Amino acid sequence: MGSLVTPTSGEDGSTPVAGNGKAHAADEVPLQPTEPVEMASAAPLESDKSKRRRMAMLPLEVGTRVLCRWRDGKFHPVKVIERRKMQTGGPNDYEYYVHYTEFNRRLDEWVKLEQLDLDSVEAVVDEKVEDKVTSLKMTRHQKRKIDETHVEEGHEELDAASLREHEEFTKVKNIATIELGRYEIETWYFSPFPPEYNDCLKLYFCEFCLNFMKRKEQLQRHMRKCDLKHPPGDEIYRSGTLSMFEVDGKKNKIYGQNLCYLAKLFLDHKTLYYDVDLFLFYVLCECDDRGCHMVGYFSKEKHSEESYNLACILTLPPYQRKGYGKFLIAFSYELSKKEGKVGTPERPLSDLGLLSYRGYWTRVLLDILKKHKGNISIKELSDMTAIKAEDILTTLQSLELIQYRKGQHVICADPKVLDRHLKAAGRGGLDVDVSKLIWTPYKEQG
């Protein structure tokens, strides 16, 4: 941990010495007691000087880069995004909202001064100048690698100005935790709740209607009156303890808006749609004798000109790594098959969403290629899977399973190579039992 008092070593790492400033060898005559000794006073003077230097830099400016002790007990580089005055304390007593530059924005948090190593403070640099200098130093290959990294962060459709505006508006998490059912969940990102919730660090959600409150007592009173035990829509799928409900945003506007507020706490890149009339929400639940408890959802536009079969997807943090995300993706494609259409997710995808989709596309396509005898075209794969041809092409190209010969793409499916890629893609999620899906496409409902 950083300390406000420095050790007695000099700033250049050397040990302070007495008298003439030269260190004495072992066989030299030591100083006599009657001679003036500077070592005793040099350390406090140096310590006071260092302490004054550090105090002079407080409070830290927004944009400062420094090392911060994280929850793993180690120091990591951060950038100060925002600061706020503590209600009790001196003029320099601030808390700092920091972004860990090695990690995703979901780990941004408020920290206290004692978590920061002030010896590591770097001066605030004008980011436009810094970006220009960095750009001049980078090779074309390095720039391409940086661009690819940004694409995977889920902002590939935002230009530089829009990205800066997005990050400025959403830079500080407004809600730290939520209570939903039996879970207390740390949030990841900013969500634009109504202004009356600006002073709340924690919100309490009804897990059935998704109304949110400031205090636990309010939630308890609400739960005694709320008669919902599942999402307010039609149950279109049930297999074992899993159920899927279709919620029409037009018929259940408040529920749809509350779901968007909740989801935005865990999704960095999505625009919050206040006009939920145009969307259908598919809410996945685990069911028991107390009711149907939401584990995740996806939404889709009722009518999409771009063939989007999914607008937004989220598995709540307590239910992640259980195969639910892959189940939601698979379910969206089963709906596309029922509609007789090919589909693709709306862009941009989040970093976790992109990984999930790449894994799903890889497993589905390689399973077919392993079982299929003879030649097969991308169009045939698209018809069989409801996956858009462009997604099939990019997936197979990334696996180096496709070549361009004589004006057309040719799939090269060596069984050993397929097995290797399938193993790398990991296990699939929970299977969708299509026989348990009872659903009518929206246009036919109308």
Task: Give the integer Cα–Cα distance in Å for 323 and 224.
Answer: 33
Q: Tell me if 245 is assigned to some domain.
A: yes
116-122 and 65-69 as β-strands: parallel, antiparallel, unpaired? antiparallel
Cα separations (Å) of 366 from 50, 360, 373, 374? 62, 10, 13, 14
376 plus 338 within the same structural domain: no
Coil/strand/helix, residue 297:
strand
CA 71, distance to chain mean position in Å, is 18
- To the query of whether residue 305 is one of the catalytic residues in this protein, the response is no
Cα separation, 301 vs 311, in Å, equals 7
CA distances from 106 to 201, 234, 300, 335 (A): 16, 33, 25, 31
Q: Are 180 and 316 in contact (CB under 8 A)?
A: yes
Q: How far is CA 251 from the centre of its chain?
A: 31
Same domain? For 271 and 387 the reply is no
| 418/366 Cα distance (integer angstroms) | 6
Query: How confident is the model at residue 38, as a pLDDT?
Result: 46
Q: Is residue 319 part of a domain?
A: yes
Query: At which of 315, 348, 381 does a domain end?
Result: 348
Both 369 and 269 in one domain: the answer is no
**Is 363 in the same domain as 311?**
no
Beta strands 177-180 and 202-205 are parallel
Q: Which residue has the tokens 């030591």?
A: 30
For residues 183 and 328, membership in a common domain is answered with yes
Q: Are residues 344 and 360 in the same domain?
A: no
Q: In this structure, are 330 and 387 located in the same domain?
A: no
Centre a 10 Å sphere on the Cβ of residue 441 and count the other Cβ atoms it contains: 14
User: Which domain range does residue 328 map to?
Assistant: 177-348
Cα Rg, the chain, nearest whole Å: 29
* Domain assignment of residue 58, yes or no: no
Structure tokens at 435: 């026989």
Residue labelled with tokens 């690819």: 148
Q: Are residue 322 and residue 369 in the same domain, yes or no? A: no
Alpha-carbon torsion, ordered 442, 444, 445, 446, to 10 deg: 90
What is the phi/psi pair of residue 25, to 5°?
-75, 165
Q: How many domains does the chain have?
A: 3
Tell me, what's the pLDDT at 136?
Answer: 43
Cα angle 249-304-210, degrees, rounded to a multiple of 5 = 20
Specify whether 243 is located in the same domain as 327: yes
Amino acid at 185: I
Q: Kindly report the CATH number assigned to the domain that includes residue 367.
A: 1.10.10.10
360 domain-assigned:
yes
CATH number at residue 209: 3.40.630.30
* Options 38, 346, 380, 400, the catalytic residue: 346
Domain annotation covers residue 279:
yes
Please indicate, yes or no, whether residues 186 and 277 belong to a single structural domain of this protein.
Answer: yes
The span from the CA of 53 to the CA of 65, in Å, is 17
Q: Are residues 385 and 364 in the same domain?
A: yes
Q: Is the residue at 430 inside a domain?
A: no
CA distances (Å), 48 to each of 53, 123, 328, 389, in order? Answer: 9, 21, 60, 68
Residue 171 lies in a domain: no
Domain with 109 in it: what CATH number? 2.30.30.140
Residues 322 and 259 in one domain: yes
Cβ atoms of 421 and 362 within 8 Å: the answer is yes
Final residue of a structural domain among 348, 383, 411: 348
Model-level pTM?
A: 0.73
pLDDT in tens, the chain (446 residues): 443 333 334 434 433 333 333 343 333 434 344 444 444 445 555 567 667 777 778 889 999 999 999 989 999 999 999 888 887 777 778 999 999 999 888 889 989 999 999 989 986 655 544 444 444 444 444 433 333 333 333 444 455 565 555 566 567 888 999 999 999 999 999 999 999 998 899 999 999 999 999 999 999 999 999 999 999 999 999 999 999 999 999 999 999 999 999 999 999 876 655 689 999 999 999 999 999 999 999 999 999 999 999 999 999 999 999 999 999 999 999 999 999 999 999 988 877 788 889 999 999 999 999 988 878 899 999 999 999 999 999 999 999 898 777 777 788 878 888 989 988 888 777 999 999 999 999 875 54
3-state secondary structure of 156: coil
Do the bridges between strand 212-213 and strand 308-310 make them parallel or antiparallel, or are there none, so unpaired? Answer: unpaired
| 13 occurs within a structural domain | no
Burial class of 347 by CB neighbour count within 10 A (0 to 12, 13 to 18, 19+)? middle
Q: CA-CA distance, 372 to 379, in Å (whole number)?
A: 15
Of the candidates 184, 180, 187, the residue with the CA atom closest to the CA atom of residue 223 = 180
